[in-house]
Structure 1
């Protein structure tokens, strides 16, 4: 499946689990977009439900032959959608590391907020998309 249009094979995907009661949409997206890696961009990989804890997401990824990485440096300290990392230099280093992963295939930035326009992952994805010159697609 293409990411946005016929001219792009690869893209950066974002997904927020919000109040979802199961992993169905998440796993469907992993397959539909040929995701090779899920990058957890939460400051802490905890959630309102244990099913969205980092360890559980990692298990699901492994069951679906997808890598999982938690990058707390790309988490948000602002308490709003505006991305303010806890350590700017570390965040920039991790963005560079991610830019090398993009060459291996599509990856998905995971965070809690269901609506991407209300989540810091939008800023992270846009910065990474600009760095890599590939499109961003926000999944619902």
Structure 2
């Protein structure tokens, strides 16, 4: 699958949904040479403790991948339409991630498995606009 743009970089998004283990997540991290996982959940907790931010951070660290939680990029709308709690903080986080994405392959992580029902599509769209780097939604 060729998903890189002319810069050789790409931004991927992934939702863990109700997955019981890290198999698919780790496959994507390795297959696409992900260097940063950016968690865009308002609260880095889940129905399953394995998807808590601290656990994901450990999994990433064991695989030489940096994990960053950006709660300012979380969603307060209760649906797929992205409404950050603080737009100024969200804009700052978007700029920071855009700088990282210029140098490294990143994966935007959220809970909703279906990208069409998740705010991460809007977050990724903002990053695509800031960086001109192509976005691919993984499921």
- TM-score by length of structure 1 reads 0.95
Aligned to 1:3: 3
Q: Secondary structure at the match of 1:13?
A: strand
- How far off is 1:94 after superposition? 0.6
1:70-105 CA-to-partner distances (Å, cap 9, x unmatched) read 000000000000000000011001100111101221
Paired residue for 2:128?
129
Q: Which runs of 5+ in 1 are unaligned?
A: none
Secondary structure of the corresponding residue to residue 35 of structure 1: coil
Q: Is the 8 A contact 1:11 1:134 kept in 2?
A: yes
1: distance between equivalents of 2:116 and 2:8? 24
Moved over 6 A (4+): none
Alpha-carbon shift at residue 8 of structure 1 (Å): 5.6
Deviation at 1:2, TM superposition (A): 3.6
Structure 2 SS opposite 1:86: coil
Q: Please say if residues 61 and 67 of structure 1, whose CA atoms lie closer than 8 Å, have aligned partners that are also in contact.
A: yes
Distance 1:49 1:113 in 2: 13
Query: What is the RMSD computed on CA atoms of the aligned residues?
Result: 1.2
**Cα deviation per residue 1:108-128 (whole Å; 9 max; x = unaligned)?**
000000000000000000111
Number of residues of Structure 1 aligned to a counterpart in Structure 2: 139
For 1:88 and 1:118, the matched residues in 2 are separated by 21
Question: SS at 1:94's partner residue?
Answer: helix
2:105 matched to 1:102? no
Q: CA deviation at 1:9?
A: 2.0
Kindly indicate whether the alpha-carbon contact (under 8 Å) linking 1:2 and 1:8 is maintained by their aligned counterparts in 2.
no
TM-score where L is the length of structure 2: 0.96
Task: Name 2:63's counterpart in structure 1.
Answer: 64
Q: Residues of 2 paired with 1:9 and 1:97: CA distance?
A: 19
